[in-house]
Structure 1
Amino acid sequence: MKKVNFTEMKNGTKEDYQLLEKYEKSFERQTADRIIKYLASQTTTLEGYQITRLEHSLQAATRAYKNGENEEMVVATLLHDIGDDLAPMNHSQYAASILRPYVSERTYWIIQHHGLFQTYYSAHHLGGDRNARDKFRDHEHYQATINFCENYDQSSFDPNYKSMSLDEFSPMVRRIFSKTPYYYL
């Protein structure tokens, strides 16, 4: 594989950067496959839960799909907790940043804030404020985020729920991540 000539970016030439752009475009086209592979590897559970991380994602996405959500929201629901492993303290923002170039502002906002909104179900049991989400009460996507948490996230920990398979969602993931990123539109 051909490589650039520089050791400091400030010394790169047009040819160097054209070469890197070619490689990066190829790498970007494989994003969906890397995401699917990562999701498939989530076959263990966070201690204490009855299902795996993968099963939680599949249940949530299946619920969104069966509820008639658009493909963008179904895929975002599938990926909403993808940051749990690497960014447990800000998993929502992590997941949202992965989705951001490919989804609407509404979908991005919902995924970015779902972690805080989800604390509605648990914070009061641990001495926290279950209504912390209310600081966003006037935001246009406030209710949509409540609905996301209620309908897809908090209800998707059931070991007896029949989820769709990751293979069934894979074409949707590939379509979303093959879209022209919003910042190019």
Structure 2
Amino acid sequence: MKDGTKADYDLLAEQEKPYHVLTADRILAELRRQGEDTMSGYKITRMEHGLQSATRAYREEADIDWVVGALLHDIGDGLAPQNHDRFSAEVIRPFVREEVAWTVEHHGIFQMVYYANHYGWDENARDRFKDNIYFRSCADFCERWDQSSFDPDYPTEAVEFFEPMVREVFARKAYDPLHLREGEVVGLPALS
């Protein structure tokens, strides 16, 4: 790579554009692939969990960043089960509000409040983030959309319902400050 010229790299940048355009297709394919595997011990698939989380977010009138974040918060689980939260956050980070990417990145440790005591772990491990501006958003995300989305009887929207939202988000210019909105707290929609 060190011997490449500006012309070489300009050519590569041009050649990579069609690949970038297909990012949403690859993400949707991975989501559908997760519908083939039931999570060990659970009554639903990983895809169904993401769809259920996104359906809850959508029905609470969350904005598109939250809905897509909820849909894809576990997209990394198949390849990186021990750090799926961080893996998933890196998939969405260039395209969504910083608050949503931070929430997805930290939801794993925040979820521990529900089960860590059963393993002898610290269920309050998330407290080390209590001074972070996104703490409440992540805690609410876990409570309202993640931990409750393992219900095989919940009426969930299909992948096709969310596909236009995924395409819209991943069609954004990567790392555009207009969408990243660093340091801004929107929070989850107020419950009625």
* The one of 53, 65, 87 aligned to 1:60: 53
Q: Give the % identical residues.
A: 50
Find the counterpart in structure 2 of residue 156 from structure 1: 149
The Cα of 1:184 is off from its aligned counterpart by: 6.5
Distance in 2 (CA, whole Å) between partners of 1:184 and 1:152 is: 27
1:172 paired to 2:174: no
Specify the alignment match of 1:143 in structure 2. 136
Provide the rounded CA distance (Å) in 1 between the counterparts of 2:14 and 2:169. 21
Cα separation, partners in 2 of 1:127 and 1:133, compared to 1, 3 Å: same
Q: Match for residue 104 of structure 2?
A: 111
Whether 2:126 is the aligned partner of 1:133: answer yes
Query: Deviating runs (4+, > 3 A) in structure 1?
Result: none
Largest Rg, 1 or 2: 1
Q: Specify the alignment match of 1:76 in structure 2.
A: 69
1:19 maps to which residue?
A: 11
Greater shift after overlay, 134-143 or 15-24?
Answer: 15-24
Quote the offset at 1:183 in angstroms: 4.6
Q: Deviations over 1:28-49 (max 9, x none)?
A: 1110011001101112112100
Q: Structure 2: which 5+ residue stretches go unaligned?
A: 179-192
Q: CA deviation at 1:14?
A: 2.5
1:51 aligns with 2:31: no
Q: How many residues align?
A: 177
Gaps of 5+ in 1: 1-8
- Equivalent in the alignment of 1:86: 79
User: Which deviations, in whole Å up to 9, do the C-alpha atoms of 1:105-152 show, x marking residues without a partner?
Assistant: 111111110010011111001100111001111111111111000000
Q: For 2:94, what is the secondary structure of its paired residue?
A: helix
1:36 to 23, 28, 37: 28
Letter in 2 for 1:53: R
Cα distance in 2 between the residues matched to 1:13 and 1:184:
29
- Whether contact under 8 Å (2:49, 2:150) holds in the other structure is yes
TM superposition shift of 1:182: 2.5
Instruction: Supply the distance in 1 between the matched residues of 2:5 and 2:102 (Cα, whole angstroms).
Output: 38
Matched position secondary structure for 1:128: coil
Match of 1:99 in 2: 92
TM-score by length of 2: 0.89
Report SS of the residue matched to 2:58.
Answer: helix
